[in-house]
Structure 1
Amino acid sequence: MSSEFSLSNVVPSYRLDGKVAVITGGSGGLASFLSRGLLSQGAEIALIDTNQQRIDEAAIQLSQWGVDKLGLKPEAVPKVTAWVCNIGDAANVEETFTAINATHGKLSTVMVNTAGYCENYPAESYPAANAENLMKVNGLGSLYVSQSFARPLIAAKLSGSIILIGSMSGSIVNTPQCQTMYNMSKAGVIHLTKSLACEWAPYNIRVNCLSPGYILTPLTKHVIADSSTLQDAWVSRIPQKRMAAPKEFVGSVLYLASDSASSYTTGLNMVVDGGYECW
């Protein structure tokens, strides 16, 4: 009985010491907080993005944050690497994940896919080329990074945690903007999560989806700066009457990344939207 109710057996740990966490969209506003949260728990970080300069700067800033805010000596900061990759290109994804594992000297066991984008076009005039590219990045890209992350773990019989970023837009239709293809892609990410979770449960690879509501990232701030009407329309439909700060998703990701905290959680679509979907 004493061992059953020991502190370590009752209270989960969010420490990720010795693990490698891959974060796509690594220079983005959400990823900048998630990467710091994961680094603070001891994880090595591999940042992926499409722009070399931005991702190099993000990696440098992340390592320096470990010194400035965690109080670590430079040599004690978990390893941080930067990678350029188009997640809509399966061959490029496979090459990048193979290189990440080789450079870190171990297989990555946590992956957070924040890469993706949104466009607003009326459905009847959505350009075909744009629609195809968005689905390639948001939809197929989520599959490709999951495959390249999981394959070596399956071969090595190691467990892992995949966290795909969906959106409340995968469950509801946003208004007043028209974003049919984005909504379609995120609905696909949610069901991809459930499908992979079922297929890979025998390998102890957990697959979950975090679906945010509206987040005040630098990009979102830029969009609403020119449109108080748009901001008012969004906020009026949120029970909490505000958009989220990026830091408010760190706890969710640490929970899903931790084998100790979320060992029985897979196939979940965790909606964090300030209550938007309740109305």
Structure 2
Amino acid sequence: MDSQYYNYENVVPSFRLDEKLVILTGGSGGLASLVARSLLAQGADIALIDMNLERTQQTAKEILAWGAETLKGARESPIGQVSAWSCNIGDAESVDLTFQAINEHHGKIATVLINSAGYAENFPAEEYPAKNAENIMKVNGLGAFYVSQSFARPLIQHNLKGSIILIGSMSGTIVNDPQPQCMYNMSKAGVIHLVRSLACEWAQYNIRVNTLSPGYILTPLTKNVIGAHSELKNQWESKIPLKRMAEPKEFVGSILYLASDSASSYTTGHNLVVDGGYECW
């Protein structure tokens, strides 16, 4: 009995995603392009979604070229398809049509969704323009809901299990300093609670829903910001117990964990904070 229970599959989780289709929004961003490479290395097909189609198509080409060069020899792995799509996730109709087209194009239903699309902006709260506030909530908040809806509907219809990973932020549970970004913080707090709500509703359909909430990441965009404002980097890092910002690769393991049916089959409704200890102080 012990030998049957303690077999390799029961003891060692697999992070392989062979034959799975993963939808990745914000697909041309610094974090997403790295995550996409890790998904490809695990055997997944990937649909990249972003606003700029040309840039997203270029990202898809670069990911496939990386796979052809890297996934051979000792790292041999099947290389899946990588497609590129343009979509405004704040537009529910556009999201639904795009997700349907993705499933048709790949000839299968996506079973993993990673929503990294979103943005931040800084205004003092008393001066925050109403239109800006509406737009950031539409993309960061409603957009997260729309992509989750369009992803889940065919899974529910065809009785397929899936995993949704919405990228939140430590800003959903703390207030950043010194930058004023109340609407970004509000939107990410909403994403975290949206995840809990969807996890409870969709558990009956075997759809797991979780949040990954990063701290400060050294993406190309962040590097540009701190390049022009070096004092920000010093202020941020002084409040991080590890005394440094994260490299994008340091989030790959968390995403693969949440995407894996083997590793995280009992994890749903969780907000996984990866912030170098920022929230501890």
Q: TM-score range by the shorter chain?
A: over 0.9
Deviation string 1:89-110 (CA, Å, 9 cap, x unpaired) is 0000000000000001010000
Secondary structure, aligned partner of 1:270: strand
**For structure 2, which runs of at least 5 residues remain unmatched after alignment?**
none
Q: What is aligned with 1:22?
A: 23
3-state DSSP of counterpart to 1:155:
helix
- Amino acid in structure 1 at the alignment position of 2:42: Q
Q: Distance in 2 between matches of 1:228 and 1:64?
A: 35
1:245-278 CA deviation, whole Å, 9 max, x = no partner? Answer: 0000000000000000000000000000000000
Match among 238, 249, 252 for residue 250 of structure 1: 252
* 2:46 partner letter: I
Root mean square deviation, CA, Å: 1.0
Q: Aligned partners of 1:8 and 1:199: how far apart in 2?
A: 29
Distance, in Å, in 2 between the alignment partners of 1:157 and 1:10 is 27
Q: Matched residue of 1:120: which SS?
A: coil
Instruction: Give 1:161's match in structure 2, choosing from 159, 163, 178.
Output: 163
1:110 aligns with 2:112: yes
The equivalent of 1:92 in structure 2 is: 94
- Which stretches of structure 1, 4 residues or longer, exceed 6 Å deviation after superposition? none
Pairing 1:186–2:188 present: yes
**Shift of the alpha carbon at 1:52?**
1.2
In the other structure, the counterpart of 1:63 is 64
The structural deviation recorded for 1:206 is 0.1
Aligned partners of 2:231, 2:151: CA distance in 1, in Å? Answer: 42
The answer to whether the 8 Å contact 2:19/2:45 transfers is: yes
Aligned to 1:151: 153
Amino-acid identity (%): 68
The Cα of 1:229 is off from its aligned counterpart by 1.1
Give the secondary structure class of the aligned counterpart of 2:5: coil
Counterpart for residue 32 of structure 1: 33
TM-score, normalisation: structure 1 = 0.98
Q: Is 1:271 paired with 2:273?
A: yes
Q: Equivalents in 1 of 2:41, 2:78: separation in Å? A: 12
Distance in 1 separating the partners of 2:256 and 2:216: 20
Letter of the 1:278 partner, please give it. C
Number of residue-to-residue matches in the alignment: 277
Letter in 2 for 1:220: T
Paired amino acid for 2:61:
I
Question: What's the counterpart of residue 10 of structure 1?
Answer: 11
